[in-house]
Amino acid sequence: MLIEENKPLAPFTTFGIGGPARWFVEAASEEEIAEAAAWAAERGVPLFVLGGGSNLLVSDSGFDGLVLRVALHGISEQVATTPSGQTIYQAAAGEDWDPFVERTTQAGSAGIECLVGIPGTVGGTPVQNVGAYGQEVASAIEQVRAFDLQSHSFVEFAAAECGFAYRRSRFNSEDRGRYIVTRVDYRLTPGGAPTVRYADLQRALAESGEPNLAEVAAVVRRVRQAKGMLLVDGDPDCRSAGSFFKNPVVSEEQLRQIAAVSAKEPPRFPAGTGAENLGWVKVPAAWLIEQAGFSKGYTLGAAAISSRHTLALVNLGAASAAEVLALAEQINAAVEARFGLRLEMEPVLVGF
């Protein structure tokens, strides 16, 4: 195990922002994960787990601790077939997510086809319950294997034990920082029908009759690219962490208050499918931001709102983390002044 010192973190993030890690290690096996965790524990050094760096804003001064980059690889296909005919794919946490989705989709296995084109690693997906275009990983995860930094042992959680909700799991809430995910088992449906629930997809597929998984995935990729939400070399709109703000979930009463101060009827989406979501609705943060006076392409120093998607903040080239946060605060203050609510940031802040 090679522990490096003062390793710049910006190249490990999709934002391309951030100072150095005091110590840095890549762990390519479960043994190395345990070894790195012991190294940090023995020295009383804080530990941060890095995946693909696609949901992070790292501070300009970096991280004063050990950054452990998860580099476990390997996917075993069809290791177990469930009684209902579903297939389990066991994917190591360091595998890139997008090629994994492409592979399962091309194999005709349904369940994650709308999540194509999302950057990052397999291990990062359960952390914020990655979701897009009508799907969330919560509904396809069978089990998550992880190293427990408290007990220094490996544990396995069934999906029901992961505390999944909108952009939430136990791994980014009550147990934040406690587990290092080493493997995620996905339960997919061979020959299953694609999910075409989202209005943008329905419009784009209107002429397609009964599209197959690969066609749906291809359309998702096109829609994402049009919004600058796909990592494409040389595209300045994708130097981001994706959506910078979560869509707020508000009560019917709050929704009426938002409608009362806006010129247009606010768009709304169901907050979720469970009974606990009754009486709650999701309002697009992008709409609130636009109604608060911001438009695509708005710039503050070298940080900007993406020219194709109001929800993504981008690094125009040499933005600092401080500039991105200043822009985020400017937006949030305007949304709060207009609608009386503050938006929650989606990316994880590191080293602040």
Among 18, 19, 20, 51, binds ligand FAD (CB under 6 A): 51
Q: What is the DSSP letter of 165?
A: B
Are 314 and 306 spatial neighbours (Cβ–Cβ below 8 Å)? yes
The residue from 167, 170, 224, 239 that is catalytic is 167
Give yes or no for residue 125 binding ligand FAD (CB under 6 A): yes
Give yes or no for residue 18 binding ligand FAD (CB under 6 A): no
Q: Which stretch binds ligand FAD (CB under 6 A): 126-134, 148-156, 281-289, 322-330?
A: 126-134
Give yes or no for residue 121 binding ligand FAD (CB under 6 A): yes
Comparison of 163 and 242: residue with beta carbon closer to ligand FAD:
242
Q: What is the dihedral of CA 14, 72, 116, 280, to 10 degrees?
A: -80
Q: Which stretch binds ligand FAD (CB under 6 A): 118-126, 261-269, 272-280, 321-329?
A: 118-126
Comparison of 119 and 258: residue with beta carbon closer to ligand FAD:
119
Among 20, 65, 111, 120, binds ligand FAD (CB under 6 A): 120
Choose among 50, 130, 56, 145: nearest CA to 349.
56
C-beta of 70: minimal distance to ligand FAD in Å? 4
Q: Which stretch binds ligand FAD (CB under 6 A): 44-52, 75-83, 264-272, 301-309?
A: 44-52
Q: Which stretch binds ligand FAD (CB under 6 A): 53-61, 211-219, 268-276, 295-303?
A: 53-61
Among 70, 285, 311, 319, binds ligand FAD (CB under 6 A): 70
Give yes or no for residue 130 binding ligand FAD (CB under 6 A): yes
Spatial separation of the C-alpha atoms in residues 233 and 14, rounded to whole Å: 11
Choose among 179, 181, 197, 202: nearest CA to 132.
197
Query: Residue 114: what residue type?
Result: C
Give yes or no for residue 124 binding ligand FAD (CB under 6 A): yes
CA distances to 10, 58, 317 from 61, in Å: 11, 8, 18
Are 307 and 228 spatial neighbours (Cβ–Cβ below 8 Å)? yes
Question: In which order are the strands placed within the sheet that holds 20-27?
Answer: 4-8, 20-27, 63-70, 47-50
Comparison of 51 and 351: residue with beta carbon closer to ligand FAD:
51
16 CB neighbour count, 10 Å cutoff: 17
CA distances to 144, 146, 150, 182, 314 from 153, in Å: 14, 8, 8, 12, 39
- Here the tokens at position 81 are 């077939």
The rounded Cα 226 to chain-centroid distance in angstroms is: 19
Choose among 281, 222, 219: nearest CA to 249.
281
Give yes or no for residue 240 binding ligand FAD (CB under 6 A): yes
Name the 3-class secondary structure at 334. Answer: helix
Between 134 and 173, how does the x/- string for binding to ligand FAD read (CB under 6 A)? -------------------------------------x--
Q: Which stretch binds ligand FAD (CB under 6 A): 50-58, 80-88, 100-108, 268-276?
A: 50-58
Q: Which residues bind ligand FAD (CB under 6 A)?
A: 14, 48-56, 70, 93, 118-121, 123-125, 127-128, 130-132, 171, 179-181, 229, 231, 238, 240-242, 348
Query: Could you give the residue numbers annotated as active site?
Result: 167, 243, 346
